[in-house]
Amino acid sequence: MTTLFSSYRLGDLALPNRTVMAPMTRVRAGAGGLATPSMATYYAQRATAGLIVSEGVQPSLVGQSNPGTPGLHTDEQTASWRAVTDAVHVNGGRIFAQIMHGGRVSHRDTTGLRPVGPSAVPAVGDVFTPTGPKPAPLPRALETAEVPEHAQAYADAARRAVDAGFDGVELHGANGYLISQFLSSNANLRTDGYGGTVAGRIRFAVEAATATVEAVGAARTGIRLSPGGGFWGVEETDVPELYTGLLTELARLDLAYVHVEATAEEPVLTALRRTWPGTLIMNPVLPMGPKQTGPAEAAHWLGLGADLISFGRGFIANPDLVERMRTGLPLAPVDEATYYQGGDSGYLTYPAYQHAA
């Protein structure tokens, strides 16, 4: 019987278990978007995960969403990541970089540039800036001729990721960021070939994935999706049709995996599982919702056909999460106040389980 602790073959990678450390923004990068020694320690501490997916990494300056996040668009950034990937590999782990273009979820105070999006429609809510939260600004709608260069940015960052030692990349197509904005029926009001119909709205995602596959290979390319998620005010009025169309096109690329968040009703998600013929990573609970993924949720989705299960907050406070779940040890609680505060407290200060003498 398949369990969370069964091995799995993901492309050229032999995963010792079916746990995935989900991408989580921790805003601990150095000046200039550089990865730091603390980041190397953080990821190495969690190398017993079957697969680690890094925090979102911007593929360009205009693609940066939050201050304090790392990039993969300069030589210095690329070099800084090598210590991170080396540390994970020395500790026996495997790591993909999540490539995240924030699109309209950004601010000039963070990047010095006006955010861009599929249409001139602002996100809903406040965005983070170096001086605190501010209302999401009105983005500049991309011209048709500009769109391909933003799709190509994912591929360019993927090349840098592989050069930096990552085992692959995950395109962030979820949670209201640029790919998700193109998929949307209210953030994307375009009337050219990148909007309107389902075929138009999925085009940017497919082009970004295609370019990345051409750059680093299908076995090194995954994508994360949040069907019907509603993050940052994004709406999708036709979730089953939209994601069936998208997964059908992505299946032609033979991607390493699709990583799906539980942002739609279970019957919708299980139907999408049947549409997608390849590896499915399932994030079984709503991101940042009241509930955290545990062994019961993992077993449920493995039974429904998921191949791998991603865990977010559990990995923050429990660097040895896999062993704790394997042996039934209690999980340490996470201190939410330290999520984004910077520094090593609440980042490197969660120990492995301490057995009594």
Which residue numbers are catalytic?
177
Q: Is the dihedral of CA 154, 201, 141, 105 positive or negative?
A: negative
Torsion of CA 56, 61, 65, 68, to 10 degrees: 70
* Cβ contact 173:180 at 8 Å: yes
Tokens of 86: 């080396």
Listing DSSP states for 80-115 in one string gives: HHHHHHHHHHHTT--EEEEE---TTS--HHHHSS--
Distances in Å between the alpha carbon of 36 and those of 40, 54, 247?
Answer: 7, 13, 36
- DSSP 3-state of 172: strand
Distances in Å between the alpha carbon of 169 and those of 103, 227, 352?
Answer: 19, 20, 28
Contacts of 249 (CB under 8 A, 6+ apart): 202, 206
Kind of pairing between the strands at 8-10 and 13-15: antiparallel
CA distance 312 to 292: 8
* Closest by Cα among 199, 195, 156 to 63: 156
**No. of helices (H) and no. of strands (E), the chain:** 12, 14
CB atoms within 10 A of CB 66: 22
